Structure 1
Amino acid sequence: MKSLPCLFGGIEAGGTKFNCVLGRSPAEILERASFPTTHPEETLGAAIRFFEQAQARHGAIASLGVACFGPVDLTLDSPTYGFITDTPKPHWSNTDVVGTLSGALGVRVAFDTDVNGSALGEGSLGAAQGLDDYVYVTIGTGVGAGIVVNGQPVKGAMHPEVGHMLLPHDRQRDPFPGACPFHGDCLEGLAAGPAIEKRWGRKADTLPEEHEAWDIQADYLAALCWNLTVSYSPQRIILGGGVMKQDHLFPRIRERFRQHINGYPCGEAAECPQDYIVGPMLGGHAGEAGALLMAEAIA
C-alpha cells in the first residue's frame, strides 16, 4: 500500500501576527490559521493548539519550520539558539521559541528569520523563481531583509540587519528624528510603518497617493536598493510588507534608483529597473511557504 506524503508544519511568526499552516508542501496546504502576536505564552500557546488540533484531523507532522521576527539567535551551538533576543517588541525579549514548540509538539524545529522564510518562499514559488542571488525586503512593522546568495540565505556572526542600515537623511527636507529606539534615524526608524505613523500622525494605508510622505519614502527605499545592489549584486530585489501595498511607490523608487546609478555599470539593474525592483508574487503567504520548505529540509 502506497504511503501518503509527509505532513509538515510552518509558522510565519511576525511581530504583528502569527500565520500557521499544516500541509504536504507549500502548494498543498491542508489547514491554516492566523492570530495576533500578543504575549509569548498566549501566542505560542495558540500555535501549539492549532497544530495539536490540525494533527488530530490530518495526521502527525514530521517536522516544523518557524520563520520568526527578531532579532533571533541562529547559532546552533549557542545556549540561546532558537530564542528571540533583545527585541523592541514588548514582552518578547529572551523568548525560547524553538524549545517551547519542540517540547510541546515533540518534533524537530527548523528556525530562521521571518524575512529568510519569505525569501525562500519567493524563490521557490514566487518572484525569484529560477534565481540564485536575490534579496527579499519587508517594510512593515519593522524593516528586514532575506539575502540569498548561491541559493542559500546569508548568515554570519548574526543575521543581516538591513533595517538598521544608516542612510543619507536630509533634515531640512525631512526633520523627523526617526523612531528606532536604538538608532533613531536608521532605515527602520525612517521608513517602517510605525515611523510613518509617528511622522504624519496617520497610518500608511490612510495616506493618499499624492501625499508628500510617499516621495520621502521612495527616497529612502531607493537608497536601500542601491546599497543592496553594490553590496550583494543580486539578480532581483523584492520589496514586500504592509507598507509596500502601494503600487504607486514602485515607479517612484525605480526612478530614484536610476538617479543613484548615475551611469555606473551595474548590468540588468540599470537596464531594466522595472524587472529588478519588484513586488512579491505570493503576497502574505511567502513566509509560511518558506517555513514549510524549512520543515521539509530537516525531515
Structure 2
Amino acid sequence: MSKLIGAVEAGGTKFICAVGRGHDDIIAQATFPTTTPEETLDLCAHFFADTAATHGPVERLGIAAFGPLDLDPASATYGALLDTPKPGWAGTNFIDYFKQHRGMPTVLDTDVNGAVLAEVRWGHARGCDSAVYVTVGTGIGGGAFVNGKLVHGLLHPEIGHIPMPRAPGDEAFAGVCPFHDDCLEGLAAGPAIAERWGVPGQDLPEGHKAWEFEAFYLAQMCRSITLMLSPQKIVLGGGVMARPGLIEAVRQEFAKALASYVPVAARAGGLDSYIVPQSLGGVSGLAGAFALCS
C-alpha cells in the first residue's frame, strides 16, 4: 500500500487540509477559516493528529500557500510569509511550525505554483513543459512552470502586482492594493470589483461595465505573460473566473492587445486552447499540495 500524503491549501480565506494517496484518492478532509496564525495552524495540526490516529501518519506534508513566501532554503526566514497583505500573518513560518515543531517533513510552495504543477501533471496543461496558472479571486497570483521546472528565482513570481495600463474609463478608480496604485490585483481582484461598484462581482448583471474592465485587465496580463515567458498554456482559475462569458471576453481582448505580433493562436491551436479554465474542479491548490509531494 502506498504511503499517505498530507496536503494543505493555505488560503487567505480558508485552509483546506487533506490526507490521502493522491489528489484523487483522499481519505480525510477538513476546512478551517483563516483566522489568526496560531488558531488556524493548530486546527490543521489537530486534524493531522486525528487522522494519524485512525489511518496512520503521513509520509510528507505538502503546503500550497498564499504569499509572498521565502522559499530560499539558505535564508534565515525560509518557509515564512513575508510582508503579506493578510493582517497578522507576516512572519508566520509554515516550515518551522510543521517540520520543526510537529515533526512532519514539509514541502512548501505558493498556492499558484502548486496549482500550475497540478495542471501540468493532471489537468489542462498536461504534457506541457511551459505553462502559467493565474488565480483571480480575493487576490491575484500566478505560478509559472518553465522548461519543466517551477519558477522561483530570487523569490517567486508575483504576477498579481505587475503594473497595468488603465482601462478606458477607469482612470478615476484608486485601486485597492496597499502597496501599488496601478497593479493588476489592485484593479482586477474581487475586492477591487466590489470597491469600484459598491457591490460584489457576483451581484453585477451580465453586460455590466465591470466585465469589460475585467476582460481588459486580464487580457493585458495574458499579453505580458505571453511576451515574457511564451508558455504553451495560460490557465485561469479563481472565483472571479467563474463568471459566465468572462474567459471568452478575455480571449477577445487578448487578441486585440497582441495585435497579431506573434502567431500565438496558430501555434496553440486557437485561443480557446491557449487561454483555458482551471480543470481540477476548483481545488487546484489542494491538488497542487499533493503534487508538491509526488
1:172-191 alignment runs, 5 A limit: 172-191=169-188
Partner of 1:287: 285
Partner of 1:272: 270
Partner of 2:254: 257
Structure 1 contact 258–270 (Cα < 8 Å) conserved = no
TM-score normalised per structure 1:
0.94
Partner of 1:131: 128
Partner of 1:98: 95
* 1:30 corresponds to which of 10, 27, 31: 27
**Residues 184 and 171 of structure 1, relative CA distance in 2, 3 Å threshold:** farther
Identify the range of structure 1 (172-181 vs 155-164) with the bigger mean alpha-carbon deviation: 172-181
CA deviation after TM superposition for structure 1 residue 104, in Å: 4.0
CA deviation after TM superposition for structure 1 residue 270, in Å: 7.3
CA deviation after TM superposition for structure 1 residue 164, in Å: 0.6
**Residues 131 and 271 of structure 1, relative CA distance in 2, 3 Å threshold:** closer
Structure 2 contact 167–213 (Cα < 8 Å) conserved = no
Size of the aligned set, in residue pairs, is: 293
Identify the range of structure 1 (117-126 vs 83-92) with the bigger mean alpha-carbon deviation: 117-126
**Residues 118 and 270 of structure 1, relative CA distance in 2, 3 Å threshold:** closer
Give, as a single letter, the amino acid of the residue that structure 2 aligns with 1:203: P
Give, as a single letter, the amino acid of the residue that structure 2 aligns with 1:290: G
Give, as a single letter, the amino acid of the residue that structure 1 aligns with 2:246: L
Distance 1:287 1:270 in 2: 25
Give, as a single letter, the amino acid of the residue that structure 1 aligns with 2:271: P
CA deviation after TM superposition for structure 1 residue 105, in Å: 3.0
Distance 2:291 2:38 in 1: 26
Structure 1 contact 179–185 (Cα < 8 Å) conserved = no
SS in 1 for 2:283: helix
Structure 1 residues 209-255: Cα deviation after superposition (integer angstroms, max 9, x where no partner): 22110000000000000000000000110110111111210111111
Structure 1 contact 147–153 (Cα < 8 Å) conserved = yes
Structure 1 contact 71–86 (Cα < 8 Å) conserved = yes
CA deviation after TM superposition for structure 1 residue 112, in Å: 0.4
Distance 1:215 1:283 in 2: 26
TM-score normalised per structure 2:
0.96
Structure 1 contact 261–270 (Cα < 8 Å) conserved = no
Distance 2:199 2:264 in 1: 39
CA deviation after TM superposition for structure 1 residue 283, in Å: 2.6
Structure 1 residues 16-39: Cα deviation after superposition (integer angstroms, max 9, x where no partner): 111111001122111111111110
Distance 1:210 1:259 in 2: 19
Partner of 1:43: 40
Structure 1 contact 226–261 (Cα < 8 Å) conserved = yes
User: Relative contact order (alpha carbons < 8 A, sep ≥ 6): 1 or 2 greater?
Assistant: 1
Distance 1:245 1:280 in 2: 10
Distance 1:171 1:250 in 2: 20
CA deviation after TM superposition for structure 1 residue 173, in Å: 3.9
Please, which runs of 5 or more residues in structure 1 have no aligned partner?
Answer: none
Give, as a single letter, the amino acid of the residue that structure 2 aligns with 1:291: A
Distance 1:209 1:135 in 2: 28
Identify the range of structure 1 (256-265 vs 175-184) with the bigger mean alpha-carbon deviation: 256-265
Distance 2:74 2:31 in 1: 31
